[in-house]
């Protein structure tokens, strides 16, 4: 026979049995988890009924006669996002240069620095907000610091990567003309990464404007605070109004920032 | 006077420059020729210490430059202006700022980092640009210029350095023939006006013959010919460019790697 030396194919039967067992085990585990978490059809139906009631209560949306205060809170949220992002960019830009392998050529430093950024990047903005609201008291200040601190690690990493991807030609040109490391950054790297930095910062501003509402709910002021107050007293018509207003504001900021970013590209 | 004494450079196992000795006097225009990977680029980079020699010495007027550090090293680099194949300008900065980079080694750090340059420097920069017929582009972004124009800006930057010599590494290799002539003439005129020597690596034998007063040919990291263009016989040219004249294509890669 031609293929008598070939490895014999294993019988398909044991594999099939194993797969059947795994599937059954998976289903059993899933059911056990649902029971443990209290996910029952009864609870599901009850929850959706309540949601339906809330939804009905949202119509028609109403400003509850508090429009000036809502608008002021919306502006406060925008201000928080702006201040938080600006603070983050101011800190992340120099950190980005420190973290770029092509600027600081010490492998050990680079490794530790990047791991440190990764570590802090793992902390969600909500956790920072809880910590800073506890430290600085209720109000936007804690929120601004939380947004900034949450953004610094990931922005620094993005900046560092943009810097590493720069064309080395201008750097060498500056060095050969007698420029120092700082001159290389100033004249060769900074002009190349500035548009990328600006574009990424705008993107973070958009995302922070969206996140800032959540921060209000944990006590950091702004539109989130207004929302939280009304959800607590079941004023769903006003909740609906604020959410709609907020959606329009987010869309406006997004399109403005997108236009700015494409102008920078 | 520039003097190289038995200078060598290896990148790991590959030897890019192998015991080269060479003196270059004022007013000379030395064309360095040879196949890719013969060590031309590395030789030029060893002079301004963009690459550090493995052994041997570079001297200027009898004084070694290998031990210069920090500010002194930067001043040495300022004195041996370099022109690159890819111009190496900062494309998003305007032309005049690119030219002003030529003085940063000699001005206070804080001032230059704020892009503040005295009026006399700015006037000098415009004058250097005008000499190359590039004055009208002074406030344009360098990246908007054509290759030939960018290389002339690079020459203006080099001249702004008030150099004692010019190192030009394949200055016309990425230009069309017409622009190549313009740039070679500009280089010749700029160096001639100051009487400073030029070391220029060239792919084109024809350009080397027409513009250089002396030709140095390299093969496998060594100098295999050093003489006037008229002494460069067909037989020697054959030896320079014949198959196998190259030690190892990896040398070329190593040179590119050193640039990155």
- One pLDDT digit (tens) per residue for chain B, 260 residues: 898 898 989 888 888 888 888 999 888 999 999 888 888 899 999 999 999 899 989 999 888 888 888 888 999 999 999 999 999 999 999 999 999 999 999 999 999 999 999 999 999 999 999 988 899 999 999 999 999 899 999 999 999 999 999 999 999 998 899 889 988 998 998 888 888 999 999 988 889 999 999 999 998 888 988 988 888 888 888 888 875 544 455 555 555 444 43
pTM as predicted: 0.77
Sheet with strand B214-219: strands edge to edge: B80-83, B165-169, B198-201, B29-33, B214-219, B222-227
Instruction: Tell me which chain A residues have a C-beta less than 8 angstroms from the C-beta of B92.
Output: 191-192, 194-195
Distance between CA A69 and CA A196 in Å, rounded? 37
Contact B113 A174 (CB under 8 A): no
What per-residue string of b and e applies to A187-216 under the rule 16 or more CB within 10 Å gives b? bbbbbbbeebbebbbbbbbbbbbebbbbbb
Contact B88 A179 (CB under 8 A): no
> What is the predicted ipTM?
0.87
Which residue numbers of B have CB closer than 8 Å to A's CBs? 48, 50, 74-75, 77-78, 81-82, 84, 86-93, 97, 101-102, 104-106, 109, 112-113, 115, 154, 157-158, 161, 259-260
Query: What are B225's strand-pairing partners?
Result: B217
Q: pLDDT at position A12, please?
A: 66
In order of A84, A121, A179, the CA distances from A80 in angstroms are 6, 20, 40
Q: How far is B117 from chain A (nearest CA, A)?
A: 14
Contact A177 B154 (CB under 8 A): no
Q: Could you tell me whether strands B55-60 and B2-11 are parallel, antiparallel, or unpaired per DSSP bridges?
A: antiparallel
Q: Is the CB of A23 inside 8 Å of chain B's CB atoms? A: no
List CB contacts of B74: < 8 A, sequence separation 6 or more. Answer: A178, A179, A180, B105
Query: What are B7's strand-pairing partners?
Result: B20
Q: Is the CB of A165 inside 8 Å of chain B's CB atoms? A: no
What are A220-264's pLDDT values in tens digits?
778 888 888 888 888 888 889 998 998 999 999 989 988 888 887
What are A157-175's pLDDT values in tens digits?
999 999 999 999 999 999 9
Report the residue of chain B nearest A174, measured CA to CA: B101
């Amino acid at each position: 026979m031609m293929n008598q030396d070939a490895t014999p194919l294993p019988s398909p039967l044991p594999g099939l049995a194993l797969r059947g067992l795994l599937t059954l085990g998976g289903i059993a585990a899933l059911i056990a988890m649902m029971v443990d978490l209290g996910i029952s059809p009864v609870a599901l139906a009850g929850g959706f009924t309540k949601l339906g009631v809330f939804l009905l209560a949202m119509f028609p949306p109403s400003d509850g006669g508090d429009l000036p205060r809502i608008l002021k809170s919306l502006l406060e949220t925008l201000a928080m996002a702006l201040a938080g992002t600006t603070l983050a960019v101011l800190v992340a830009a120099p950190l980005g240069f420190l973290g770029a392998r092509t600027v600081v050529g010490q492998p050990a430093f680079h490794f530790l620095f990047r791991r440190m950024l990764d570590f802090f990047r793992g902390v969600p903005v909500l956790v920072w907000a809880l910590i800073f609201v506890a430290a600085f008291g209720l109000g936007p200040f804690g929120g601004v610091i939380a947004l900034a601190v949450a953004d610094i690690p990931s922005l620094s990493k993005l900046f560092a990567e943009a810097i590493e991807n720069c064309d080395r030609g201008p750097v060498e040109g500056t060095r050969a003309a007698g420029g120092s490391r700082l001159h290389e950054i100033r004249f060769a790297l900074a002009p190349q990464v500035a548009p990328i930095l600006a574009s990424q910062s705008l993107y973070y501003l958009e995302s922070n404007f969206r996140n800032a509402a959540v921060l209000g709910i944990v006590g950091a002021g702004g539109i989130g605070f207004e929302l939280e107050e009304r959800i607590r007293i079941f004023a769903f018509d006003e909740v609906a109004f604020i959410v709609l207003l907020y959606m329009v504001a987010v869309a406006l900021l997004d399109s403005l920032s997108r236009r700015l970013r494409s102008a920078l590209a | 006077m520039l003097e190289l004494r038995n200078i060598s450079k290896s990148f790991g196992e590959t030897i890019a420059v192998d015991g080269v000795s060479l003196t270059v006097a004022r007013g000379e225009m030395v064309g360095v020729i040879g196949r890719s990977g013969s060590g031309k680029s590395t030789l030029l980079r060893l002079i301004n210490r963009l690459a550090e020699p493995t052994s041997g010495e570079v001297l200027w007027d009898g004084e070694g430059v290998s031990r210069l550090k920090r500010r002194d090293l930067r001043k040495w680099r300022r004195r041996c202006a370099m022109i690159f194949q890819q111009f190496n300008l900062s494309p998003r900065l305007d032309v005049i700022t690119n030219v002003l980079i030529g003085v940063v080694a000699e001005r206070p750090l804080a001032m230059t980092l704020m892009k503040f340059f005295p009026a006399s420097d700015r006037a000098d920069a415009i004058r250097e640009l005008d000499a190359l017929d590039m004055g009208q582009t002074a406030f344009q972004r360098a990246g908007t210029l054509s290759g030939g124009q960018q290389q002339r800006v690079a020459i203006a930057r080099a001249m702004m350095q008030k150099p004692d010599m010019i190192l030009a590494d394949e200055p016309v290799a990425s230009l069309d023939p017409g622009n190549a002539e313009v740039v070679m003439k500009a280089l010749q005129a700029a160096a001639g006006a100051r009487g400073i020597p030029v070391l220029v690596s060239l792919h084109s034998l024809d350009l080397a013959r027409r513009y250089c007063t002396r030709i140095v040919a390299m093969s496998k990291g060594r100098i295999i010919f050093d003489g006037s263009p008229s002494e460069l016989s067909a037989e020697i040219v054959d030896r320079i460019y014949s198959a196998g004249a190259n030690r190892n294509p990896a040398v070329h890669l190593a040179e590119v790697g050193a640039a990155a």
